[in-house]
Structures are given as C-alpha cells and as structure tokens.
Amino acid sequence: MINKRSWPDYGALLIVCLILALIPLATGGSPYYLRLATLMLVYMTYAVAFNIIFGHTKQLFLCMGALAGCSGYLSVVLIRELGLPPGVTMPLGVLFASSLGAVFSYASVRRGLGVIFVGVITIAFTLVFHNLILGLRVLTSGEDGIVTRGLGFGVLEHRLASYYILLAILLLSLLLYHFLISSRIGLAFRALNDNELTAELAGIDVTRYKVLAAFIGSALFGIAGAFYAQYNGFISPDIFSFVSVDTPVFIMVLLGGMGTLLGPIIGAGVFTIVNELVRPLGYLNLLVYGVFLIVLFLLFREGLVVTLRKMVKLHIP
Amino acid sequence: MISLFIDGIICGLQLSLLAVGLTLIFGLGGVLNLAHGQLAVIAGISAAGLIGAGVNVPLAALLGVLIAGASGLVLDRSLMLMAYRYKGEARLLLGLVLTLGVSLAIEGYLNYSFPLVALTISLPILNVTLFGVVVRTTAIVAALIAILTLLSLFLFLKVTSLGKAVRSIVQNELGAELCGIDQASVRTFIFILGSLMAGLAGIAQGLTASLDVRMGMEFTIFALIVATVGGVRSINGTLAAGILLGVVNVFASFYVGTYLTFIILLTTAGLTILLRPRGLLGDWT
C-alpha cells in the first residue's frame, strides 16, 4: 500500500495536521476564534467531500447542505423522539445521507443527465429538504431549531476537545481521499473524468465508479453534518441552507483547486478568513460570494494549488 | 371552487411569463440563467423606487421593465460573452456558475441597499365580477399583461423573420449559421427579450400580491420548475406547464398548505427530469 510516490502526500498531511493542531494556541483562548476554527474544520471536511464528487467525477451536487442536514437532523430527532443513543442515530444519519447521494448519482447516470440537470435536481432536493424541515414542525421545530446536547460523557461539549475530534475526522477523510485516489479507483476516476465514453470502452464501469464517488462523498457530508449538529449545540434549517453550505463550499473547492489533496483545505482556510473580514458588511457577504464565484471561475479555474505548483515548480499534492 | 380555479389560471399565467424567458434563453444561448428571478426583482424594486420618487405608476412600471431589459443587455454583453466562447457542456456549466454568482451578487446588493423597499401596486377600482365570481382588478390587469405579452411573443416567433431566425437557431445552431443568421446578435436580442419578460413578471407580482428584495431566488426556482416540467426547450410546453402548475399551486396551497405544495412542485420537476427529460407534455407540444 505504501509506496514511494505517496511520500509527498504523507508529508503534506503531516504539515497540515501540525498547523491545524496548533491553531487553538493561536486563538489565545478566545472562545469566539476557537469556534470559528472548529467551523473551519467542518467546512474543510465538506470541501474534501465535494472534491470527491465534483472534482473527480464531475457530478454537480448542489445539495451538500441538505445531505449534511439530513444526517444532522435525523441523528438529533431520533435521539429526541425515540431515545436512541447517539452511537446508533449518527451512523443511521450518515447511512441515510450516503444512500441518498448514491440514489441521486445512480438515477442521473442511468438517465444520462448532463452536469447541469444533476445540478437542477440536487437544487430541487435542497429546497425539498428545507421545506420538509420547516413543514414538519412537530419533529423539527421548524425555523426555531432544536437544541442538541453532545454525545454524552462530555464528548463534543468541551470546546477544545471538540476541536480535536473534528480535526481527527478531517484527517481521516483526507487519508481516505489519499487512498481512494492513489488506488485503482482513483485511476478509474481520472479516466472517466477525461472522457466517459473512452473510459467505458476501456472496460471501466462508469456507473459504478460515479455512484461510488457520490456514496463516499455523501457519507463524508453526513459524518461532518452529524458531528457539527452535536457540536453546535443547536440546529436550524439555516445552518444547512444553500447559502450557508453549498455556495461557500463550491467557492472553497474552486479557490483551492479541484482534484487536489490540499486544494479544498487551503481554499476553506482562505475563504474562512475572507468571510470573517466581510462579516461586518451584513448582507453584502452575498455580493462577495457572487463576485468570488464569477472571478474564480473565469480567471482562476485551476485554483491555488495548481498555480503554486507552476510558480515554485514543486509537486504539491 | 371557481374562484380558486381563476386564481390558479392567473397565477399560472404569471409563472409562464416568468418561465418563458428562461426557456428562450436556454433554448437559444444554451445558458440556464439562474439570475432570471433577480431581473424580475430589479424591475419591481426600480418601479417601487420611482413610484416613491413621485413618478406615476404606469410610467414607473414601464421604466422598471426597461431597467430589467438593460440589465439583461449588460449581463449578455459582459459575462455571458465569456460563456458563449465554449460549446456544449462547458458552456452550460460556465453559464450556470456565472449566473449563480450574478444572482448572489444582485441579491446581496439589493438586500444591503434597499432592505425595506417593496412593490405593491393598487388600482382605483378594487374588484370586478367575472363569471359570477368577484376578482381583484389588479389580478385581472396582471393576467392581461401576461396574456398580451405571451400572445405577441407567439406572433413574433411565428410571423416575423427575426422570430423564424430564433426558432431556427433553437432547432439547429450550425444550420442556422449556414443560412447566414448572425447568432450572436439574435442571442443578445433574446437575452434582452427574456429579461424584459422577467421584468414584466416582476411588475405582475407587484400587482397580484407584493414584491420585495428577498424574492429573487424564489422566482428563479419557480421559473426553473415550470421550465423543466414544460421541457426546457419547448415554449408551448412551458406555457402549458405554467398554467398547469399555477392551478396545482393554488389548489394545493388551499388544501394542504404551502410547504407541502412546494414539495409537490419540486418533486414534479425532479421526476420530470428523470422520467420524461423532454418535458411532461413533451410529446404533444
């Protein structure tokens, strides 16, 4: 499994791990900045997931918030309604999100939908999810949201500990990404990303690999969503909405560079800082998102990592 | 019952008016304009601002629609120009992302600068009786605007040579080019036309209910639902789907509530894409 070509990846992961592990020290004990850093980890995990789905198999999933939200809400509501332990409900939530993602992917590959119609269908699902949460008041308390209580035993309640738990999840998803991409599956992804028809002719089961990518990516959304729901202490439709998840994550992945190991993380880091700078502007943050999206897609499609690679002539994973 | 039905038809006409522009631009330019609803909001908010400044209502409405058309022109000549350089899937994706960006930017700006502006147009005569049912005059005017616009669009596409050029590009880009049709200018023309129609839909919304700065995304989504159910390249289909969904919308809102109605509409659109990609009514339009 471990070969020479993987060393740069491991080195990069180690550096990322060290930097992220030291961030809580840099916040100087301020709860606000620690919370911001923790949210950044959640968004980094989202970005890694989107990178697998969109960056490697070109499936435009615009239902990231809804997938994370399905898992988050399911795990919280089942605890409250049926009294099940989080250890049972969270895997159920994740399973539900990943199956949904796989179903979307299977249906759209089977029907031969272009990238744009996958986008339309998944946007429709985002809105269905939003309206379901608002409509099922009895279960979800609608817009008011639900207070969540962590995992018991104080896990995900203590702020610093939660940071490291979410960091561990991020690192595990990065490792998963690395193994996925450096295996035969990654090879298949690369082939079908270049040209689906030729990949199919070369004997690659395009349907299977696209559904696999959607399944794994959606599972990561589900995991991040479920942990976020417990960590946050409160869930509402707003924290899983299109504007608060899908748009930022799309920008993060574009900014960092699609199809790279570090791109989504770097993109998420830079975006978090920019977002924090424009927070005082209120609604104008939408304007900033919009301009970011346009400029990035027009002028900077390769993203930071690839640009850096060209500048320093070094292989950055 | 009859009054619900009439409400449904009126709502449907407005939906068609909104969606036909989206269909035209998609059919012709190959760009799914996610900023479509924001153009309706631009028209409505400009009109509301002008009315507030003392301009009389019809003139303000007209200017609002023209401002939407001008915004369409700017959008087409600047960002969409970059999208048109590509073909097929690449153009679709680029167009989708660019218009999503524009939509967010417009929404952010309007919400920041005019958070409290809303357009509500009222007329001197409140109600008229139609088929023994009392209907609001404003709703009738909105329906008339929609009917007249859609009729003139049909005539334009059927009779004039520019209209025929438009249909020929929808059918076959290369063939149209070979016949000497200048695609770029026809495309710009249609983008403006679609924007004007979105603007009219915004004004109509101000007549039947009220329009505020937060409604852009909702308009886009409704237009998208209607356009997909009607088959994104078929104008007749969009019209039929608009009226059908308008009636469904009004009846369902009355009997099962708004949330469930929206879910029904969205699921219809999703299933249409999956099961009948050429539109729910694709075979006989």
Q: Please say whether the beta carbons of A261 and A177 come within 8 A.
A: yes
Contact (CB<8Å) B108/A287: yes
Spatial separation of the C-alpha atoms in residues A168 and B11, rounded to whole Å: 52
Question: What letter would DSSP give residue A235?
Answer: E
Q: Please report whether residue B120 resides in a domain.
A: yes
B228 contacts A116? CB cut-off 8 A:
no
For residue B263, give the nearest of A132, A281, A297 by CB distance.
A132
**pTM for this entry:** 0.87
Whether residue A284 and residue B112 make contact (CB cut-off 8 A), yes or no, is yes
Q: What is the pLDDT of residues A170-210, one digit of tens each?
A: 999 999 999 999 899 999 999 988 888 898 898 889 999 99
pLDDT for the residue numbered B281: 56
Cβ distance of A284 and B108 shorter than 8 Å: yes
Q: Would residue B271 count as lying in a domain?
A: no
pLDDT of B284 reads 44
Q: Is residue B49 part of a domain?
A: yes
**What is residue A2's predicted lDDT score, i.e. its pLDDT?**
55
Q: What is the mean pLDDT of each run of 10 residues along chain A (317 residues)?
A: 72 88 82 89 95 91 94 90 86 95 92 81 90 85 77 64 90 93 91 87 91 95 92 87 90 89 92 88 84 85 82 75
Query: Is-contact A97 A64, C-beta < 8 A?
Result: no
What is the residue range of B92's domain? 2-215
The answer as to whether B208 is a domain residue is yes
ipTM: 0.82
- The confidence score (pLDDT) of residue A150 equals 63
- Identify the bridge partners of residue B135 per DSSP, sorted by sequence position: B128
How far apart are the C-alpha atoms of A242 and A21, rounded to whole Å?
Answer: 29
Contacts of A286 in chain B (CB under 8 A): 104-105, 107-108, 111
B82 assigned to some structural domain: yes
Those residues of chain B whose CB sits closer than 8 Å to some CB in chain A are 32, 79, 82, 89, 92-94, 96-98, 100-109, 111-112, 115, 221, 224-225, 228, 257, 259-260, 262-263, 266-267, 269-270, 273-274, 277
Q: Give the pLDDT score at A209.
A: 93
Nearest Cβ partner of A134 from B89, B98, B259? B259
In a domain, B41, yes or no: yes
| Domain presence at residue B57 | yes
* Closest residue of chain B to A104, computed from CA coordinates: B274
Is B109–A113 a contact, with Cβ atoms under 8 angstroms apart?
A: no
Q: Residue A282's closest chain B neighbor by CA? A: B112
CB B252 within 8 A of CB A89: no
Q: How far is B93 from chain A (nearest CA, A)?
A: 6
Contact B274 A291 (CB under 8 A): no
Q: Judge: B263–A135 Cβ closer than 8 Å, yes or no.
A: yes
Interface test with A, best of B31, B74, B92, B104 (most A CBs within 10 A): B104
A117 contact residues in B (CB cutoff 8 A): 273, 277
Look at A115 and B102 and tell me if their CB atoms are within 8 Å: no
Nearest CA in chain A to B272: A121
> Which residues of chain B neighbour A247 with C-beta distances below 8 Å?
100, 104
Select from B94, B111, B273 the Cβ nearest to the Cβ of A297: B94
Give SS3 for A254.
helix
Site of tokens 């049972």: A88
Q: Write out chain B in H/E/C secondary structure.
A: CHHHHHHHHHHHHHHHHHHHHHHHHHHHHCCCCCCHHHHHHHHHHHHHHHHHCCCCHHHHHHHHHHHHHHHHHHHHHHHHHHHHCCCHHHHHHHHHHHHHHHHHHHHHHHHHHCCCCEECCCCCCCEEEECCEEEEHHHHHHHHHHHHHHHHHHHHHHHCHHHHHHHHHHHCHHHHHHCCCCHHHHHHHHHHHHHHHHHHHHHHHHHHCCEEHHHHHHHHHHHHHHHHHHCCCCHHHHHHHHHHHHHHHHHHHHHHCHHHHHHHHHHHHHHHHHHCCCCCCCCCC
The answer to whether residue B247 is domain-embedded is no
Which of the residues A195, A241, A283 would you substitute to probe the B interface, choosing the one with the greatest number of B C-beta atoms within 10 Å? A283
Predicted local distance difference test score (pLDDT) of residue A87 = 85
pLDDT at position A156 = 64
Residues of A in contact with B93 (CB under 8 A): 60, 115-116
If one counts the domains in chain B, the total is 1
pLDDT values of chain B reduced to their tens digit, one per residue, 285 residues: 788 888 888 889 999 999 999 988 888 878 888 999 999 999 999 999 998 888 888 899 999 999 999 999 999 988 888 888 887 778 888 888 899 899 999 999 998 888 888 888 777 777 777 777 777 888 888 888 999 999 999 899 888 888 888 888 877 778 888 888 888 888 899 999 999 999 999 999 888 888 888 888 889 988 988 888 887 777 888 888 888 889 888 888 888 888 888 888 888 888 887 777 776 655 444
Chain B residues close to A113, C-beta within 8 Å: 273-274, 277
Please give the structure tokens belonging to residue A316. 């950055």
A234: helix, coil or strand? strand
Q: Show residues of chain A in contact with B213, CB under 8 Å.
A: none
Chains A, B: CB contacts within 8 A come to: 118
Look at residue A100 in the predicted model and tell me its pLDDT. Answer: 94
Q: Cα(B198)–Cα(A100) distance, rounded to whole angstroms?
A: 34
Any idea how long chain B is? 285
Q: Do A111 and B79 touch (CB under 8 A)?
A: no
